[in-house]
Amino acid sequence: MNQRDNPTAEPSGDRLAALQARVEQLEKELAANLSAQQELREAGDLLSRHLDNMPLGVLEWDSEFRLVRWSGTAEQIFGWKAEEVCGKKYGEWRFVHDDDLDDVNEIARRLLTGVEQSNISNNRNYRRDNSVVFCQWCNSVLLDEEGRLVSILSHVQDMSRLRHVQNSLHELNRALQREAAERRRAEAALASANERMHFLLAATPVVIYSCSVEGERNATFVSNNIEQVFGYRAEQVISTPGFWMQHIHPEDRQRAADSIPPEAGDEPRVNEYRFRCHSDEYRWVRDVVRRVHASEDGADELVGYCLDIQEQKQVEQQLRLVQSAIDQVDESVVITDAVVDRPGPHIIYANPAFYRVTGYTPQEVIGRSPRILQGPATSRAILRRVRASLMAGHSLREEAINYRKDGSIYHVEWQIAPVRNEAGEIVNWVSIQRDITHAKRQEEEANRRDAEMAHAARLSTMGEMASGIAHELNQPLAAIANYVHGCQQRLRSGRISPEELSTVLERVVGQAERSGEIIRRMRNFVRKREPQREAADVNDLVHNVVGLLQPEARRRGVQIDLELTDDPAVLRLDTIQIEQVIVNLLQNSFDAIASNEPGDRRVRIRTVTEPDAVRIEVSDNGPGLKPQELDRIFDPFYTTKSEGMGVGLNISESIIHSHNGKLHATNNPDRGTTFVAILFRQMASNPV
């Protein structure tokens, strides 16, 4: 039997030596593997200790935004331990402030969907004890070679402790450098983490740097993202002595040099200056710098970070310009919140002109309702329209009476408009208020003068019609005298019965009423009174005027034709003023056809109702007007008549304009002229 057939036989010397060599090799490989694992654990522990000791909180989220890393600093800032929050989404515990949750959700969505690779946000968070902390978050995403999201890294700093933030930036930079060296010696997992950290640091818009304190402040470290922010490579900045100071605007250079903290450990200095980019454009930056002790040679150095704030500066400049303009305008500008429920919006800003006009102080106005300007004379109808516009979110323009602090009233023209955010929601109301008290007084004075002139014109018109009216009155008076004289004779002779006497007396009464109607029309036309508007039918006014001018028309041999609408023509107007316009237009037509042959003197009055207006047309068959006369016919003191004063048509135009209407003249296609007065129905809503 040989040795192969005997399993209990001793192995040969060569086989035993091979087995021993194999065992020794396995022992060495095991020892190397254990050593590598120990190195990996130590490197991971070292990284964790660095992250835990940084004042900058480090959080890592997976592709579903579940927390996978929670550094010790995060625990110090917020109070939760890693085992309490890891594995949770940020919305699954009371972490994000309620008022900022929508903004944070939007930031997370943009990172998860690839809209942004990195961003910076400022929002409020809750600590474990429910207190609020204001934080700045720098978020960056890491993608694999196929572009899929691996994780999201967040750096958070407590903005209430900016001193610790500066330390964390410096320590983070040193930790990342040590981490990079350690990860080069580690296994593939640690190398992958190192690559992720470098990618995230390069993606952040904050340029981190360190430089010497003395001399030209030569850079010793600059983050690679400086090329994306300012256009320079990090190597160029570090290798060029005095690079940073040389690229600061000459006017800002001394201020930047003076911003160095005098002692290590002092509060960080914040400075803003203009920095020349690679494109030769100067852009505003915010530089936050702190002085620290270096660990190797003992010399101090500066560490800090820079942010491009060019857009912020431009916005600030625009805001200052707007503020300066608003402060200097004469109109009052008031901004309120968006509340429309009673008691209404609250004032949050008013410009100096508002305080000059009203007599209030900012302390008496801010936070209060604009109702403090209202009083008994303020129109409630206008306030209801304002409230309706606010409820509907519409702009509006109104005139109203307001009250100053001392109780005196003033007239104001409002223009109120909504201020909307990017979502189209109303967040404020802005009101521009113009004091029109002086203009109102001038308008009232002009109306008074116009009324005086119109009254004088009516008296003059009545004087021109005196002979016709006297003739018209003479007829009923003569008839009355004849009737009475005849009754006297028949009564003396006893030849009249009671029935005949009653008939004669009824005729006397009729003639007396006819005389009274003529006198009533004259008195109403020439009486002096304050302008007042009331609902009246335009057709009734036409009838009154025709009755008044009928004697003059008969005397001149003029036939007046009426074509009055059957539709309601009721408007709110000053009846005497509109009658005066019709009288002026009729008399103007009488004069225009005076040279026509007897029997060929015709004037037509026509009324037309439209959806938004009533038209009064007065047409004649005279010679018409020349083009130059049409252009000037309504000018004051312009007349085409040898004895005219040239005020009748001008007064008529002023009256129609005061009723928000229009008056114009055109030549007829065949012959003659037509004057058209348009009175709009909307004037019924205007205050008297």
| Full DSSP string of 168-181 | HHHHHHHHHHHHHH
d(CA 298, CA 119): 36
Phi then psi dihedrals of residue 208, to 5 deg: -100, 140
User: Residues in the chain, how many?
Assistant: 688
Residue that is written with structure tokens 């515990």 in the block: 93
d(CA 559, CA 269): 97
Residue 356: in which H helix or E strand, if any? helix 352-358
Least confident of 150-159, 546-555, 564-573: 546-555
683 confidence band (pLDDT: 50, 70, 90) = very low
Share of the chain above pLDDT 70, in %: 75
d(CA 614, CA 675): 14
Least confident of 60-74, 123-137, 485-499, 662-676: 485-499
d(CA 228, CA 287): 17
Tell me whether strands 602-610 and 559-563 are parallel, antiparallel or unpaired. parallel
Select the highest-mean-pLDDT range: 164-178, 317-331, 392-406, 527-541. 392-406
> Mind listing the pLDDT tens digit for each residue in 232-253?
998 999 999 889 889 999 999 8
Q: Is the dihedral of CA 376, 378, 382, 384 positive or negative?
A: negative
What pLDDT, on a 0 to 100 scale, did the predictor assign at position 470? 56
Q: What is the DSSP letter of 86?
A: T
d(CA 669, CA 671): 6
d(CA 256, CA 246): 11
Judge contact between 269 and 286, C-beta under 8 A. no
What is the rounded average pLDDT for all residues in the chain?
A: 79
Beta strands in 501-564 (DSSP E): 534-537, 559-563
Structure tokens at 439: 């203009």
d(CA 54, CA 175): 9
Domains and CATH numbers, the chain: 56-158 (3.30.450.20), 204-315 (3.30.450.20), 331-435 (3.30.450.20), 442-680 (3.30.565.10)
Least confident of 4-18, 64-78, 109-123, 533-547: 4-18
Judge contact between 433 and 414, C-beta under 8 A. yes
Judge contact between 144 and 199, C-beta under 8 A. no
Residue 419: in which H helix or E strand, if any? strand 409-420
> Within a 10 A sphere around the Cβ of 595, how many other Cβ atoms?
9
List, in sequence order, every residue forming a beta bridge with 77; answer none if it has no partner: none
Residue 273: in which H helix or E strand, if any? strand 269-276
What pLDDT, on a 0 to 100 scale, did the predictor assign at position 176? 64
> Within a 10 A sphere around the Cβ of 673, how many other Cβ atoms?
23
Interval 546-573 mean pLDDT? 86
Residue that is written with structure tokens 């005219």 in the block: 644
Interval 225-237 mean pLDDT? 89
Beta strands in 564-649 (DSSP E): 570-573, 602-610, 613-620
What pLDDT, on a 0 to 100 scale, did the predictor assign at position 277? 92
Using a 10 angstrom Cβ sphere, with 0-12 exposed, 13-18 middle and 19 or more buried, the burial of residue 113 is exposed
Helices (H) and strands (E) in the chain, counts: 21, 22
Show the CA angle centred on residue 317, arms to residues 316 and 321, nearest 5°: 115
Strand order in 149-158's β-sheet? 67-70, 57-61, 149-158, 132-143, 118-126
Q: Residue 186 — left, alpha, or beta (φ > 0 → left; ψ -120 to 50 → alpha)?
A: beta
> Mind listing the pLDDT tens digit for each residue in 592-609?
888 888 889 999 999 999
The distance from CA 318 to its chain's CA centroid, rounded to whole angstroms, is 16
Is pLDDT larger for residue 522 or for residue 486?
Answer: 486
Interval 159-163 mean pLDDT? 63
Judge contact between 273 and 249, C-beta under 8 A. yes
Interval 3-10 mean pLDDT? 51
- 42, pLDDT greater than 80: no
The distance from CA 378 to its chain's CA centroid, rounded to whole angstroms, is 26
The distance from CA 14 to its chain's CA centroid, rounded to whole angstroms, is 97
Using DSSP's 3-state secondary structure scheme, residue 664 falls into strand
Q: HSE, CB side, 13 Å, CA atoms: give it for residue 164.
A: 17
> Mind listing the pLDDT tens digit for each residue in 332-347?
888 888 887 777 788 8
Structure tokens at 316: 């600030």
- 203, pLDDT greater than 80: no
Judge contact between 618 and 582, C-beta under 8 A. yes
> Mind listing the pLDDT tens digit for each residue in 292-306?
886 566 678 888 888
d(CA 20, CA 666): 128
Judge contact between 47 and 185, C-beta under 8 A. no
Radius of gyration of the chain, Cα coordinates, nearest whole angstrom: 48
Q: Is the dihedral of CA 630, 635, 640, 646 positive or negative?
A: positive
Task: Pick the closest to residue 549 from 576, 577, 578, 586 (CA basis).
Answer: 586
Please report, in angstroms and rounded to a whole number, the separation of the first and last CA atoms in the chain.
Answer: 139
Kindly give, in sequence order, each residue whose CB lies less than 8 Å from that of residue 17, ignoring residues fewer than 6 positions away: none
Least confident of 23-32, 503-512, 530-539: 503-512
Using a 10 angstrom Cβ sphere, with 0-12 exposed, 13-18 middle and 19 or more buried, the burial of residue 652 is buried
382 confidence band (pLDDT: 50, 70, 90) = confident
